[in-house]
C-alpha cells in the first residue's frame, strides 16, 4: 500500500467540518466575555470598610473604582486610588486584556476566509493560523486573571477586618479565556490530518472505492418457473364421466322451464281484445 503521505483524500460532503464550526462559535463567545471582563470595574469587591455604612462596598477593576451600596443600584465611579493602580498586576492586566481582544479579532479575520464552505476543501492553513491566534488570545486572558486571583488579598494594603471577595469579572474572564483556548486549539489541529482524516471530514480514496465495491447489491437470482401451457390429454384418469358428474349431486337442482310451444293454428273463439 502507498504511504500515508502519498495517499489521496476525498471529502464526501461540502459541509463545513465540525472542528471549524466549533472554533468559530467558541471564539466570538469568549471575546464577548473577555470584553465584559475588561471594561467592567468588578475584579474584586471590598466589604466591611471602616468608617462606612455596613451596606456600602467598593468595586475595583483594572480601569476604574466604584463605590456602591446594596440598597441603591447607582454606583459612584472614577474614584482615585493611586496605590491600587500602581500595582504591577494592574498594568500587566491592562496590557494583556486589551491585547487579547485585538488578537482574537485578528484571528477571526484570518480564519473566516479559510472556513468558507463554497470550496471543495477549506483552506486549512488559514483556518489553522486563525485558530492559533485565538488560542494565544485565550492564554493572554487567563494569565492576568489567574495572577490577580492568586494575589487577590495582597493588592494594596487592606486591614484584616476588610472582607475581600472575587468579582464577577474574574469568573467571566476565566470562562472567556477557556472558550478561546478550546476553540483555537480545535481549529489548529485541522492543519495536520489526524484520526484517519475524520478531523477534516475526509476519507482515503482507496477506502471509498473499496466500500462502494463491497456494498454493491448482488444481481437478482433467476428462478425458473415451469410453464403451465401443456397440451390437454383426451384420456382422463377420473373413473367417471362428465354426465355422471351432472347426475350425482348432493343438492336438488332447479327444474329447467319447459319449452313454450308455439301453436300457429288457433281455432278458438275470438275475444273482443283480439279484434
Does residue 71 sit in helix, strand or coil?
A: coil
The sign one gets for the Cα dihedral 192, 198, 199, 205 is positive
Rounded average pLDDT over 178-190: 91
Task: Tell me whether residue 246 is in a domain.
Answer: no
Number of domains in the chain: 1
Per-residue confidence (pLDDT) for residue 69, from 0 to 100: 84
Write the CATH number for 205: 1.20.140.150
Q: Identify the H or E element spanning 56.
A: strand 56-60
| R_g (Cα) of the chain, nearest Å | 47
Helices (H), 116-167: 124-150
Residue 71 lies in a domain: yes
**Euclidean distance between CA atoms 221 and 231, whole angstroms:** 30
Is 256 a domain residue? no
Q: How many CB atoms lie within 10 A of CB 188?
A: 22
> Span 227-237, mean pLDDT?
57
274: in domain:
no
Is the separation of the CB atoms in 61 and 42 below 8 Å?
yes
pLDDT reported for residue 142 = 95
Residue 45 CB contacts under 8 Å (≥ 6 apart), including other chains? 57, 58, 59, 60, 164, 165, 167
Is residue 199 included in any domain, yes or no? yes
Q: Please list, in sequence order, all residues whose beta carbon lies within 8 angstroms of the beta carbon of residue 90, skipping any fewer than 6 positions away.
A: 62, 84, 155
Residue 9 pLDDT: 56
What digits encode the pLDDT tens for the residues 96-141?
999 999 999 999 999 988 887 556 677 888 888 999 999 999 999 9
3-class state of residue 178 by DSSP? helix
Residue 2 lies in a domain: no
Higher pLDDT, 108 or 200: 108
> Cα–Cα distance between 126 and 111 in angstroms, integer?
6
**In the predicted model, is pLDDT for residue 7 greater than 70?**
no
Residue range(s) defining the domain that contains residue 115: 16-211
CB 138 within 8 A of CB 181: yes
Mean of per-residue pLDDT scores for the chain = 76
Instruction: Report whether pLDDT(160) > 60.
Output: yes
pLDDT digits (tens, 9 = 90+) for 53-63: 888 888 888 99
Residue 93 lies in a domain: yes
Determine, yes or no, domain membership for 125: yes
Full-model pTM: 0.66
Amino acid at each position: 500500500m502507498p504511504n500515508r503521505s502519498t495517499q489521496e483524500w476525498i471529502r464526501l460532503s461540502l459541509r463545513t467540518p465540525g472542528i471549524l464550526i466549533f472554533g468559530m462559535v467558541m471564539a466570538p463567545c469568549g471575546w464577548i466575555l473577555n470584553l465584559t471582563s475588561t471594561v467592567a470595574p468588578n475584579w474584586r469587591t471590598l466589604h466591611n470598610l471602616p468608617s462606612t455604612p455596613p451596606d456600602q462596598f467598593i468595586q475595583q477593576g483594572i480601569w476604574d473604582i466604584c463605590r456602591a451600596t446594596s440598597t441603591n443600584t447607582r454606583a459612584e465611579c472614577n474614584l482615585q486610588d493611586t496605590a491600587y493602580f500602581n500595582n504591577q498586576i494592574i498594568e500587566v492586566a491592562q496590557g494583556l486584556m486589551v491585547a487579547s481582544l485585538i488578537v482574537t479579532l485578528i484571528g477571526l479575520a484570518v480564519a473566516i476566509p479559510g472556513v468558507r464552505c463554497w470550496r471543495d476543501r477549506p483552506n486549512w492553513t488559514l483556518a489553522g493560523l486563525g485558530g492559533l491566534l485565538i488560542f494565544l488570545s485565550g492564554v493572554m486572558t487567563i494569565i492576568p486573571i489567574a495572577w490577580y486571583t492568586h494575589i487577590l488579598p495582597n493588592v494594596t494594603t487592606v486591614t484584616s477586618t476588610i472582607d475581600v471577595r472575587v468579582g464577577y469579572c474574574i469568573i467571566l474572564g476565566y470562562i472567556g479565556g477557556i472558550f478561546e483556548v478550546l476553540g483555537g486549539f480545535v481549529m489548529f489541529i485541522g492543519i495536520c490530518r489526524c484520526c484517519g482524516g475524520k478531523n477534516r471530514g475526509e476519507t482515503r480514496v482507496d477506502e471509498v472505492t473499496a466500500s462502494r465495491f463491497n456494498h454493491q447489491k448482488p444481481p437478482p437470482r433467476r428462478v425458473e418457473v415451469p410453464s403451465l401451457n401443456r397440451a390437454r390429454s383426451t384420456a382422463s384418469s377420473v373413473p367417471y364421466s362428465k354426465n355422471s358428474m351432472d347426475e350425482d349431486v348432493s343438492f336438488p337442482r332447479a327444474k329447467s322451464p319447459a319449452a313454450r310451444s308455439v301453436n300457429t293454428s288457433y281455432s278458438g273463439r275470438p275475444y273482443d281484445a283480439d279484434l
